[in-house]
Amino acid sequence: MNGELIEALKQLEREKQIDPHTVLEALSSALASAYKRNYGAGTSDIRVNIDPKTGNISVFSQEWIEKEGEEPELVEEEITPENFGRIAAQTAKQVILQRIREAEREKMYQEYIDREGDIVTGIVEQSDQRYTLVNLGRVEALLPPTEQVPTERYDHGMRLKTYIVEVRRTTKEPQIIVSRTHPSLLRRLFELEVPEIYDGYVEIKSVAREPGYRSKIAVASREASIDPVGACVGPKGSRVRMVVSELRGEKIDVVEWSEDPAKFVANALSPAKVKAVKISEAQHTAAVVVPDNQLSLAIGKEGQNARLAAKLTGWRIDIKSESQAKDVAETTHILEVGGHIEDDGTAACICQAVKSSGERCSNKARPGSKYCGVHKKLEDEE
């Protein structure tokens, strides 16, 4: 048995990268307990020595002897039973198997802890009201109800892409928590489908999701020659269609991010057309004016479009139609391109005059002029 033990330890080191010294320490402790259990219930101190070269096992009793005027001395006596080899063999087998299991658990934990935030593909193994188990190959992942999309069903045998939210160390195999609702699942899917994102030419700035229903993603280009929205949508919508398919029909709006909060808010409210945006830095709000026929589209079904736009931009958004707003001059930060408000592709220049009250004139400027008819004299004074 002695030679077999040493050979087994060498094999563990080669195949499982398990340090033989840690196994010998664990085995010594286990053999000491086994000796007490079988031979010396009253023996308080037992030491088991295993020769790392030969595998010979020796058992010693330990006792502190106190002599008057001298320091206590530890005295050992060998008490190895004749038939201790049988017990040692059984114990060694148990310890080695336990160490193998521990090493494999730790290896699997280290493998998956580095994959937190990644997408994994698995097969649905079991699903009920409490949880869904997804087989990832060597380990099972848990998809809790809180991470499940309410519109989705997870049938046995179904292939499923999920996002690793957390990896927990347990006394058994690592517990892997995955999600179908996490906003970063959408982010990772676009990274897989859009080479420009993977290569770093296009950046995902923010994501907002109402899982199973609708999402918005804001993108920006690091290269002037690349259209970030077009890159994500793909030829004839092929790229975004793949992501929609993976999310079982969840609608996705891809919008262009902008440093200008007014433009970003206007873009985020797509597909609605925005006429003007007033930004209040102090209150962190955006007052939006849209054409009357765009109001319901801007707000969305049960407020969904406005809600997602607010999540995407981080601004609190208040939307009014032109007839509700009435005085467009109240907008202190107008969404402009060369002094013109964007309105369904038709540029209408606004008068540049500022009233004595400090408010900007809301009238349309005359063709070829910066001012309206009321303030045309200002042009003569320039």
Residue 348 has pLDDT above 50, yes or no: no
Strands 159-168 and 175-179: antiparallel
Task: Report how far residue 63's alpha carbon sits from residue 71's, in angstroms, rounded to the nearest whole number.
Answer: 14
Percent of the chain with pLDDT over 90: 48
User: Given this model, what pLDDT does residue 34 score?
Assistant: 81
Residue 332 has pLDDT above 50, yes or no: no
pLDDT in tens, 81-131: 877 777 777 787 788 778 778 777 888 888 889 899 999 999 999 988 888
Domain ranges in the chain? Answer: 2-110, 119-181, 259-345, 350-382
pTM, full prediction:
0.67
User: Given this model, what pLDDT does residue 71 score?
Assistant: 82
Cβ atoms 129, 145 nearer than 8 A: yes
Cβ atoms 198, 204 nearer than 8 A: no
For 2-110, CATH gives 3.30.1480.10
Task: Report how far residue 364's alpha carbon sits from residue 369's, in angstroms, rounded to the nearest whole number.
Answer: 10
Cβ atoms 338, 312 nearer than 8 A: no
User: Given this model, what pLDDT does residue 118 score?
Assistant: 94
The closest alpha carbon to 352, from 343, 342, 341, 262, belongs to: 341
Cβ atoms 265, 280 nearer than 8 A: no
Token pair in block for residue 247: 């999310």
Percent of the chain with pLDDT over 70: 85
The closest alpha carbon to 311, from 218, 232, 213, 242, belongs to: 218
Give 260's DSSP letter.
Answer: S
pLDDT in tens, 200-213: 999 999 999 999 99
Residue 289 has pLDDT above 60, yes or no: yes
The residue with greater pLDDT, 348 or 60, is 60
User: Given this model, what pLDDT does residue 293 score?
Assistant: 93
Average pLDDT, the chain: 83
User: Given this model, what pLDDT does residue 164 score?
Assistant: 96
The 3-class SS string of 306-365 reads: HHHHHHHHCCEEEEEEHHHHCCHHHCCCCCEECCEECCCCCCEEECCCECCCCCECCCEC
pLDDT in tens, 300-319: 999 999 999 999 999 999 99
Strand partners, 162: 120
* Residue tagged 């398990």 (tokens): 18
Total H helices, total E strands in the chain: 12, 17
Cβ atoms 164, 115 nearer than 8 A: yes
| DSSP run (H or E) holding 178 | strand 175-179
Task: Report how far residue 337's alpha carbon sits from residue 323's, in angstroms, rounded to the nearest whole number.
Answer: 23
Q: Which CATH class is domain 119-181?
A: mainly beta
With bands split at pLDDT 50, 70 and 90, how would you rate the model's confidence at 261? very high
The residue with greater pLDDT, 112 or 76, is 112
Q: Which of the residue ranges 32-36, 275-279, 282-286 would you say has the lowest mean pLDDT?
A: 32-36
With bands split at pLDDT 50, 70 and 90, how would you rate the model's confidence at 187? very high
**Could you tell me where the beta strands, DSSP code E, fall in 66-129?**
73-78, 119-127
In the three-class reduction of DSSP (H, G, I as helix; E, B as strand; rest coil), residue 240 is classed as helix
Residue 357 has pLDDT above 80, yes or no: no
The closest alpha carbon to 227, from 261, 256, 270, belongs to: 256
In the three-class reduction of DSSP (H, G, I as helix; E, B as strand; rest coil), residue 67 is classed as coil
Task: Report how far residue 167's alpha carbon sits from residue 46's, in angstroms, rounded to the nearest whole number.
Answer: 40
- Mean pLDDT (whole number) for 9-20: 77
Q: Which CATH class is domain 259-345?
A: alpha beta
Residue 155 has pLDDT above 70, yes or no: yes
Query: At residue 218, what is the residue type?
Result: A
Kindly report the length of the chain. Answer: 382
pLDDT in tens, 135-144: 998 889 999 9
Token pair in block for residue 1: 């048995």
Task: Report how far residue 202's alpha carbon sits from residue 223's, in angstroms, rounded to the nearest whole number.
Answer: 8
With bands split at pLDDT 50, 70 and 90, how would you rate the model's confidence at 343? very low
